[in-house]
């Protein structure tokens, strides 16, 4: 992985012809901005993003299920019919 600033990215065409992932940082604040992923890795990267998104959704669904289990139905309220 290569580290580069936005200024480096603007002034060089070579970065866009690389086969490595580029970690883009803010040169002044030394903070990470993001990544540049070459088209060579597009299929693998999209697969990774899909898996990450599915994992996040599954974790949120589990949290919602746990919260629903802990939320008991009291007198005078209607249940959802699932028992």
Average pLDDT over residues 57-70: 88
Tell me the mean pLDDT in the region 22-46: 86
Q: Phi and psi of 29, rounded to 5°?
A: -95, -10
Residue located via tokens 């065409």: 13
Convert 15-38 to b/e letters by CB count within 10 Å (16 or more is b).
Answer: beeeeeebebbeeeeeeeeeebbe
Domain ranges for the chain, please list them: 2-36, 41-70
Overall average pLDDT of the 30-34 stretch: 87
Please name the residue that has the structure tokens 């746990």. 66
Q: In which residue are the tokens 């299929």 written?
A: 43
Averaged pLDDT of the chain: 82
Beta-carbon neighbour count of residue 45 at 10 Å? 15
The reported pLDDT for the residue numbered 74 is 61
């Amino acid at each position: 992985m290569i580290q580069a600033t936005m200024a480096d990215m603007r002034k060089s065409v070579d970065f866009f012809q690389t086969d490595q992932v580029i970690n883009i940082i803010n040169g002044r604040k030394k903070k990470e901005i993001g990544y540049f992923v070459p088209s060579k890795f597009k299929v693998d990267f999209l697969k990774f993003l899909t898996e990450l998104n599915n994992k996040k959704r599954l974790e949120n669904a589990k949290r919602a299920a746990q919260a629903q289990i802990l939320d008991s139905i009291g007198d005078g309220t209607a249940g959802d019919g699932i028992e």
